[in-house]
Amino acid sequence: MGNSPRGRRTTPLVIARVLVLCALASLLLGGTAQADGVSSGADVQVAQTLGTRDLTVILRRMDIAPGPLHVDVVTHTGSAPGTLKLRASAAGTTFSETTVRLDGKPGAHSARLQVDQPGPWELGLDDGTDTASIPFIVPARVIPPWEKATFGGFVAAGVFLVLGLVVAMRVRRPQLALIPAGGMVAALAVAITGAMLSASTPPPPAPGTELDPTIDNIRDPYANAQMSTVDFSRPPVNLAVHSPNARSGALTEVRIAVADGATGRPVDDLLVHDNALIHFVVISPTGRLWHLHPVRFGPGDYRVKFTPPEAGTYAVAAELARRGGGVQLARTTLSVATGTASPAEPVPAGAGKRVVQGNPIDVEIRQGKPTTITARFGKADLQPWLGMLGHLIVVGPITGDSRVGADAAAAPTWAHVHSMIPQSPGMPGKPDETVAAYGPDVPFTYTFSAPGKYRIWLQAERDYTVLTVPMQIEVPAEGAPQ
């Protein structure tokens, strides 16, 4: 029977059925191998104190380049009307520009630019008096090696399937069809192995976050995955603050130089950390606080303007994040000469119940124990600010006299505490300031490690206005009665 014509006809059919079954198996197994490449990013929110305006610049996520870059400029209460020129540039060359008209009303103002390729870019801002540049990354669609192996394996399996069927049905020696059948099995093995290992395959270092971004490593980070030895060991920065003509009552420009602690070179590897390149906190001699966000004027050169209300020593701190160097806090002082002074603001003192925006908060503090300070801001209409529901600045211990600025500069504790945005069903992603649906409770948890007097400032945003509530609290020594 094996040599009969019927047997010779049956053999190709059997081999063809085997090949079809293998193909079906590949389809069934291939259903679990849904692959996705490197994330193309998300919205980037960057706070900017540009001249006398406090802005939040939102760069909406891009999926592919060339294409449009959508930008929203959020203004706050008190922002003057005017025009703001935006430009997108790469390698020092402007590719597109547009103008945003600011009508003086707080809220979002939309604009659209064009970018033509993935890689490192800069968004320039110019209001006619002050300028700033914000580095950002235009992502590229990257196919990981395991994804290439998976899809390549399935494509090769399909080719071998067709070849095997042709050989089985057309060639007189149908046993030759086992050769492409073997190739199909091998290709399936490669594809399935790639799909199964995809979950445990580590991603490459992310350009712009872990690697200095270049056009090449953004297009293919797998080809440039070898990191330099400095990427995880970048030293702390040296902070220099310069404002020689600062006088009380006058608008003052503060120049901030950020240099590498090892080489002394200007630092130009800052990351957007909590929606800003630098969080610049200023405390006046009598305890008034500014939470500013200097603009990038050039590599290692940042500038910010504010009006100091009194003469004396101001404490300043810069919180930033370096690529490969983590979050850092650098502190120094700023001297302001006598000019036109304004009266100091009253600050509630003592422990126990406080009033924040007309509502009480309860503060029961123990040294070395986690303390939750819950501020109640009236209604559930708070907006996210700097990506958070609220901010708490803690400085101390201090003497509590009128030299708060000088005391704060030397205080052992200087903390920036956040109240996180609660998760909301149906609101994916990270909400920006256009969403007003949070509060009224804004809780902060912090552990005071030493007894003494502390100055704290609670901050939240409503109606595009940042509310800052100062307080002075007393932390009793461990074991002392409340």
Q: Tell whether 362 and 467 lie within a shared domain.
A: yes
**What is the CA 313 to chain-centroid distance, rounded?**
33
Instruction: Supply the range of the domain harboring residue 413.
Output: 352-423+430-475
Is the per-residue pLDDT at 134 higher than 70?
yes
Cβ–Cβ < 8 Å for 261, 237: yes
Q: Residue 228: inside a domain, yes or no?
A: no
Q: Residue 34: inside a domain, yes or no?
A: no
**In terms of pTM, does the model score above 0.75?**
yes
Q: Tell whether 294 and 251 lie within a shared domain.
A: yes
Q: Residue 411: inside a domain, yes or no?
A: yes
Identify the CATH number of the domain in which residue 61 sits: 2.60.40.1930
More confident: 297 or 161: 297
Q: Tell whether 458 and 356 lie within a shared domain.
A: yes
Check residue 480 and give its pLDDT: 64
Select from 106, 138, 170 the last residue of a domain.
Answer: 138
Q: Residue 12: inside a domain, yes or no?
A: no
The Cα 271–Cα 279 span in angstroms is: 12
| Burial (CB count within 10 angstroms: exposed 0-12, middle 13-18, buried 19+), residue 466 | middle
Q: Tell whether 274 and 293 lie within a shared domain.
A: yes
Q: Residue 2: inside a domain, yes or no?
A: no
Cβ–Cβ < 8 Å for 387, 380: no
Closest-CA residue to 180 (of 160, 194, 151): 160
For the stretch 183-224, pLDDT in tens is 888 888 888 888 888 777 777 777 888 788 888 888 888 776
What does 227-292 look like in DSSP terms, one character per residue?
Answer: --TTTT-PPPEEEEEE-TT-BTTS-EEEEEEEEETTT-PBP--B---SS-S-EEEEE-TT--EEEE
Select from 97, 118, 138 the last residue of a domain.
Answer: 138
340: tokens are 């036109």
Q: Tell whether 370 and 441 lie within a shared domain.
A: yes
Is the per-residue pLDDT at 389 higher than 50?
yes
Query: Above pLDDT 70, what percent of the chain?
Result: 83
Cβ–Cβ < 8 Å for 415, 455: no
Identify the CATH number of the domain in which residue 449 sits: 2.60.40.10
Q: Tell whether 176 and 128 lie within a shared domain.
A: no
**What is the CA 132 to chain-centroid distance, rounded?**
19
Q: How many domains does the chain have?
A: 4
With left for phi above 0 and alpha for psi between -120 and 50, is residue 412 left, alpha or beta?
Answer: alpha
Q: Tell whether 369 and 452 lie within a shared domain.
A: yes
Q: Tell whether 371 and 445 lie within a shared domain.
A: yes
Q: Residue 230: inside a domain, yes or no?
A: no
Q: What is the mean pLDDT of the chain?
A: 83
Q: Which range (86-95, 130-139, 153-162, 329-338) has the least confidence? A: 153-162
Q: Residue 252: inside a domain, yes or no?
A: yes
Check residue 219 and give its pLDDT: 83
Check residue 4 and give its pLDDT: 47
Q: Tell whether 358 and 465 lie within a shared domain.
A: yes
Check residue 482 and give its pLDDT: 55
For residue 82, give Cα distances in angstroms to 101, 102, 132, 479: 6, 5, 16, 58
Q: Tell whether 356 and 465 lie within a shared domain.
A: yes
| Burial (CB count within 10 angstroms: exposed 0-12, middle 13-18, buried 19+), residue 366 | middle
CA neighbours within 13 Å on the CB side: how many for 8? 7
Residue 308: strand, helix, or coil: coil
Check residue 478 and give its pLDDT: 77
Check residue 428 and give its pLDDT: 58
Q: Tell whether 163 and 269 lie within a shared domain.
A: no
The neighbouring-strand residues paired with 120 are: 137
Q: Tell whether 357 and 436 lie within a shared domain.
A: yes
Closest-CA residue to 368 (of 328, 413, 316): 413
Select from 108, 138, 168 the last residue of a domain.
Answer: 138
For the stretch 318-365, pLDDT in tens is 999 998 888 999 999 999 999 887 777 766 554 444 445 444 455 677
Is the per-residue pLDDT at 228 higher than 50?
yes
Q: Residue 391: inside a domain, yes or no?
A: yes
Cβ–Cβ < 8 Å for 317, 304: no
For the stretch 405-446, pLDDT in tens is 888 888 999 999 999 998 766 665 678 898 999 989 999 999
